[in-house]
Amino acid sequence: MAIIGQGYVGLPLAMAAVDAGWTVIGIDNFEGKVAQINSGKSPVEDISDMQLQIALASGAYRASVDFSSVAKASVITICVPTPLDDKREPDLSLLQSAVSAIAPFVSNETLVVSESTSYPGTLRDVIIPTVDSLKPKDSVKVYFASAPERVNPGDPIWNQKNTPRLVGAVDAASQVKALAFYESICDVAVSVSSPEVAEAAKLLENTFRLVNIALVNEFTQLCASTGVDVHEVIDAASSKPYGFMPFRPGVGVGGHCIPVDPLYLTWWARQNGGRAEFVEKADSINHAMPKYVAQRALALVDPSVDKPRVLILGVAYKPGVRDIRETPVAALRDFLIGQGVDVAWHDPIVASWGDSQSVDLKWECDVAILATYQPGMDVVQLIKRGTKILDCTNSGLNGENISSI
Ligand SMILES: NC(=O)c1ccc[n+]([C@@H]2O[C@H](COP(=O)([O-])OP(=O)(O)OC[C@H]3O[C@@H](n4cnc5c(N)ncnc54)[C@H](O)[C@@H]3O)[C@@H](O)[C@H]2O)c1
């Protein structure tokens, strides 16, 4: 099989497929990443160097920049990013370029699956017409399906194998092929009636998270303004054995999925003459959180301090990953800088971020904002020093210098 895109989704898929007995070529257009992978150094946290090296040594896997090698594949999966553009609308340019690059080499009887998250209709209206117009003339039959990836980087329990996979194909023959493929690498493949159902389900899953996080972020602000401990309230509500699922407040939402995918939904709604107003509102509530957090932190600083120094702890969008895509900490930092604050950040697993570097915890500050509690982060050192800390992570840290959002 061939996997296009060897990132957070594509590389774990490649390893899962190797484990299931497939011979895999991982294609990526980023030469540096291909070289790194082939040298046995994993670019993603979920795959260890050792696991990658074993797969490489077995001969069952290698990475390449050569799209023509997909000609040998009976299954091609597409796992390239689907971000937002400057207008915060779907940017399918990487997906389109990946599809255009593979299309001339898609062999007859090949199954092409899109795992990239996108709006309903992407497989049918974007991917299939491109492959059909560029494929070799003797590739009479190509099978197509959508099987959106659900991987949760850094999750110790749920992975490619044990997370059920939605599979929706364009026709019955494609569905049979796609189900057989996913049943070979996943414990459960869930058949749905069309690619649009699979694509829409993926958007619903991540929008569900976005709106619940927004709800709790809004609720947090209400509780804080009235002196009620939101975490105690969430714990209390969680004692209900049905109909409630706890979400925790934070600096906002980050990563390549939760802040992005719901905007594919709002865009899709507008394209179809509707509005997803509830989702738009949730997006704007989450976007306002960095400012709220900054204001809460600055309120902890002695008013006589002229130019406050704020240390942000953790810049990745969630603990255990180095991924800083869409991190809400960027807006937090920018807001603080806009207020004339001297800002530094510390993250034990993110060495550099743009043109700035992680500072030592000894960096003197008036207040520290615990944005992402990374493994190996020595917050206790700050507590012992008496540094004021605004905890945005519900970490359970105790001390008179610790406040919680
Ligand atoms: N990261 C997640 O947690 C996650 C979870 C579920 C679904 N997804 C979805 O999976 C898709 C991929 O996300 P990701 O996090 O793996 O991205 P990623 O950035 O980690 O990896 C994507 C890889 O694709 C490569 N690439 C980009 N354009 C290419 C092209 N035209 N041809 C070949 N390679 C190309 C990049 O160099 C990169 O290595 C997205 O649609 C995303 O929404 C991501």
Using CB atoms within 10 Å of the CB of residue 239, give its burial: 0 to 12 exposed, 13 to 18 middle, 19+ buried.
exposed
**Atom number, ligand 1, closest to the C-alpha of residue 98:** 31
* CB atoms inside a 10 Å sphere around CB 188: 11
8 lines ligand 1 (CB under 6 A): yes
The whole-angstrom separation of Cα 197 and Cα 199 is 5
Using CB atoms within 10 Å of the CB of residue 38, give its burial: 0 to 12 exposed, 13 to 18 middle, 19+ buried.
middle
373 lines ligand 1 (CB under 6 A): no
Tokens 């619903």 correspond to: 204
Render pLDDT for 344-372 as a digit per residue (tens, 0 to 9): 999 999 989 999 999 999 999 999 999 99
Render pLDDT for 301-348 as a digit per residue (tens, 0 to 9): 999 999 999 999 999 999 988 889 899 999 999 999 999 999 999 999
Cβ-contact 78, 110 below 8 angstroms = no
Residue nearest (by alpha carbon) to ligand 1 atom 23: 5
**Atom number, ligand 1, closest to the C-alpha of residue 115:** 10
- Pocket mutation for ligand 1, best pick of 149, 199, 326 (most atoms within 8 Å of C-beta): 149
The whole-angstrom separation of Cα 164 and Cα 182 is 9
**Atom number, ligand 1, closest to the C-alpha of residue 118:** 41
C-alpha 6 – ligand 1 centre gap (Å): 7
Residue nearest (by alpha carbon) to ligand 1 atom 25: 5
Cβ-contact 366, 302 below 8 angstroms = yes
Tokens 């994993």 correspond to: 42
Render pLDDT for 48-85 as a digit per residue (tens, 0 to 9): 999 999 999 999 999 999 999 999 999 999 999 999 99
The answer on pLDDT for 152 being more than 90 is: no
Under DSSP, the state recorded for 104 is G
320 lines ligand 1 (CB under 6 A): no
- Pocket mutation for ligand 1, best pick of 34, 256, 261, 326 (most atoms within 8 Å of C-beta): 256
Mean pLDDT of 245-251: 96
Q: Please confirm, yes or no, whether 257 is among the known catalytic residues.
A: yes
Render pLDDT for 94-151 as a digit per residue (tens, 0 to 9): 999 999 999 999 999 999 999 999 999 999 999 999 999 999 999 999 999 999 999 8
Band of pLDDT at residue 155, cut at 50, 70 and 90: confident
**Atom number, ligand 1, closest to the C-alpha of residue 257:** 43
At residue 355, φ and ψ (nearest 5 deg) are: -100, 20
C-alpha 153 – ligand 1 centre gap (Å): 12
Beta bridge partners of residue 78, listed in sequence order: 4, 114
Render pLDDT for 166-189 as a digit per residue (tens, 0 to 9): 999 999 999 999 999 999 999 999
Set 79, 186, 223, 257: catalytic member: 257
The whole-angstrom separation of Cα 12 and Cα 7 is 8
Top pLDDT among 153 and 369 is at 369
153 lines ligand 1 (CB under 6 A): yes
The answer on pLDDT for 271 being more than 90 is: yes
Residue nearest (by alpha carbon) to ligand 1 atom 10: 116
Please tell me the predicted confidence (pLDDT) of residue 396. Answer: 85
- As a whole number, the mean pLDDT across the chain is 96
The two tokens of residue 220 are 């947090």
**Atom number, ligand 1, closest to the C-alpha of residue 44:** 20
Please tell me the predicted confidence (pLDDT) of residue 154. Answer: 83
* CB atoms inside a 10 Å sphere around CB 314: 26
- Pocket mutation for ligand 1, best pick of 11, 28, 160, 205 (most atoms within 8 Å of C-beta): 28
Rg (CA), the chain: 23
Render pLDDT for 390-401 as a digit per residue (tens, 0 to 9): 999 999 888 889
The answer on pLDDT for 45 being more than 90 is: no
pTM score over 0.75: yes
Mean pLDDT of 30-40: 98
